[in-house]
């Protein structure tokens, strides 16, 4: 893996090669990753893996058309050929009036924020094995756990560099540390599984292995002997680890590309009161050690904190340069890049801010409802907002969590669901998209 300075220089050199080959404009990216992971199961070492990858990508513009090409060969001859081929491809491609680099006047020129994304501490395979063993031991020690699907620990480092032909060049490194455990409770046909995991930028921020294991074990045993639930319309409470998927659907619908294609259930709702007053959803790419933090976006634009939803109202779309041109707006610093292809839109550290009531208070007036801890399938229509997913979790009876339930479907429309959504106060930030416990009244349940 190159250093950030060397990666930035390599991208600048590739952009210069593209200029000499005949490109009107171009940008180049360098993406590298290195990681080590250890998997244990039933106290024995099951797998040790190390992976390393380096990719360079080039996008060129010639006469209103563009082409993208990538390579894992970073040698001088390979990069010369890469530039020549990209220009030749662009000359054969159809023109696209919306394609192009981000506006030059908007590029990040100085003041790159230090987000503390790189942890210099290294963990050996032995260290990783000890963490995984401790997590699995804690999970297996929970009464009712009968088997293990294993525990794993990993540590890695990624690097992203970008250079454009109109004056941007930057690079940053980001480390990662993760730990997980998955176990089985019960016997025979009544077995249930569940898991727990954490991922952080710095090793010191990772939850203790014993806590992760204990959480996995307790989740698995709590699901034993699930019952069925009757069909009807009831309040649905989403556990934070599945409630964040609702915000994921919102982000997809807020993508400028979806709006430009008229393929979003939020079409013509810019500035609309989508949620109840008091609901605020933030996007902060400058969170120190944030799992999705970044100092600049995939087109060289500065990133900045923003309220995506403020007091229940949508504040605008998430746009890369191409979508912004289609919609007649400015890009918002949400472009993301891989090692090949054009940019696409992604958000960063997204948080639905905590409400004022505890989860117990949120459920106190529910005589009959469901508490969802797992969602299954992908039954969401991004154009209409229709929502239907398989689920499992627990009944709520007279304001209290009752027995486990499984094999039911929750359904509604995301517009109606967002309008009815109420947030509890138990926000915990570690997933990238984080929410507290959420309540949505009036959803349809299909069970017995």
240-276 confidence digits (pLDDT tens):
999 999 999 999 999 999 999 999 999 999 999 999 9
Helices 209-222 and 125-140, packing angle to 10 deg? 40
What pLDDT is recorded for position 110? 82
217 and 270 belong to one structural domain: no
212 and 268 belong to one structural domain: no
What pLDDT is recorded for position 112? 84
289 and 397 belong to one structural domain: yes
439 to each of 237, 294, 354, 355, how far by Cα in Å?
4, 32, 12, 11
Residue 249's CB: how many other CB atoms inside 10 A? 18
> Rg of the Cα trace of the chain?
24
Of 221, 241, 275, the position where a domain reaches its end is 221
Domain that holds residue 26: 4-221
237 and 153 belong to one structural domain: no
Residue 421's CB: how many other CB atoms inside 10 A? 24
243 and 167 belong to one structural domain: no
Q: In terms of Cα–Cα distance, which of 150, 137, 225 is closest to 181?
A: 150
Query: Can you give the length of the chain in residues?
Result: 448
**Is 138 buried (19+), middle (13-18) or exposed (0-12) by CB count in 10 A?**
buried
302 and 169 belong to one structural domain: no
Q: Which residues pair with 70 in a beta bridge?
A: 57
333 and 365 belong to one structural domain: yes
Contacts of 59 (CB under 8 A, 6+ apart): 26, 27, 28, 66, 67, 68, 86, 342
186 and 304 belong to one structural domain: no
What pLDDT is recorded for position 191? 94
Q: Which residues pair with 410 in a beta bridge?
A: 389, 445
210 and 287 belong to one structural domain: no
216 and 350 belong to one structural domain: no
195 and 278 belong to one structural domain: no
Report the number of distinct structural domains present in the chain: 2
- Summarize pLDDT for 336-369 with one digit per residue, the tens: 998 888 899 999 999 999 999 999 999 999 999 9
Handedness of CA 271, 274, 280, 283 (dihedral sign): negative
Q: In terms of Cα–Cα distance, which of 177, 186, 243, 189 is closest to 219?
A: 186
Do 29 and 56 contact (CB within 8 A), yes or no?
Answer: yes
Of 168, 203, 221, the position where a domain reaches its end is 221
214 and 240 belong to one structural domain: no
**Ranges in the chain, pLDDT < 50:** none
Structure tokens at 307: 């309220």
Of 196, 221, 246, the position where a domain reaches its end is 221
CATH number of 80's domain: 3.30.2290.10
What pLDDT is recorded for position 111? 79
Structure tokens at 261: 């294609």
- Summarize pLDDT for 195-247 with one digit per residue, the tens: 999 999 999 999 999 999 999 999 999 999 999 999 999 999 999 999 999 99
Do 55 and 71 contact (CB within 8 A), yes or no?
Answer: yes
């Amino acid at each position: 893996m190159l250093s950030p300075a060397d990666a930035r220089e390599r991208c600048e050199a590739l952009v210069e090669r593209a200029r000499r080959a005949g490109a009107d404009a171009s940008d180049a990216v360098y993406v590298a990753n290195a990681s080590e992971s250890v998997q244990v199961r039933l106290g024995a070492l099951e797998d040790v893996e190390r992976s390393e990858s380096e990719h360079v990508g080039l996008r060129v513009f010639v006469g209103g058309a563009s082409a993208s090409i990538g390579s894992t060969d970073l040698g001088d001859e390979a990069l010369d050929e890469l530039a020549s081929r990209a220009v030749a491809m662009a000359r054969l491609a159809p023109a696209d009036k919306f394609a192009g680099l981000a506006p030059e006047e908007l590029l990040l020129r100085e003041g790159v924020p230090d987000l503390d994304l790189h942890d210099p501490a290294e963990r050996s395979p032995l260290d990783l094995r000890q963490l995984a063993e401790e997590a699995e031991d804690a999970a297996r020690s929970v009464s009712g756990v009968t088997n293990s699907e294993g525990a794993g620990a990993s540590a890695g480092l990624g690097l992203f560099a970008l250079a454009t032909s109109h004056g941007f060049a930057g690079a940053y490194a980001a480390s990662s540390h993760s730990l997980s455990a998955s176990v089985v409770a019960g016997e025979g046909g009544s077995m249930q599984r569940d898991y727990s995991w954490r991922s952080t930028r710095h090793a010191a921020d990772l939850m203790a292995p014993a806590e992760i294991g204990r959480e996995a074990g307790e989740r698995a045993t709590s699901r034993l002997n699930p019952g069925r639930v009757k069909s009807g319309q009831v309040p649905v409470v989403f556990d934070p680890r599945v409630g964040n998927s609702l915000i994921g659907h919102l982000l997809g619908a807020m993508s400028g590309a979806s709006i430009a294609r008229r393929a979003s259930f939020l079409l013509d709702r810019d500035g609309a009161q989508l949620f109840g007053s008091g609901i605020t959803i933030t996007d902060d790419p400058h969170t120190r050690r944030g799992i999705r933090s970044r100092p600049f976006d995939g087109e060289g634009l500065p990133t900045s904190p923003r309220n995506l939803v403020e007091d229940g109202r949508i504040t605008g779309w998430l746009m890369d340069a191409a979508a912004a041109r289609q919609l007649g707006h400015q890009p918002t610093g949400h472009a993301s890049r891989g090692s090949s292809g054009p940019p696409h839109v992604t958000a960063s550290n997204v948080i639905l801010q905590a409400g004022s009531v505890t989860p117990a208070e949120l459920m106190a007036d529910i005589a009959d409802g469901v508490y969802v801890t797992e969602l299954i399938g992908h039954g969401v229509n991004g154009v209409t907002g229709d929502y239907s997913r398989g689920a499992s979790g627990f009944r709520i009876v007279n304001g209290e969590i009752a027995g486990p339930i499984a094999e039911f479907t929750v359904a509604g429309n995301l517009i109606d669901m967002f309008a009815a959504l109420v947030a509890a106060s138990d926000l915990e930030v570690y997933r990238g998209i984080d929410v507290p416990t959420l309540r949505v009244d009036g959803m349809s349940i299909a069970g017995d």
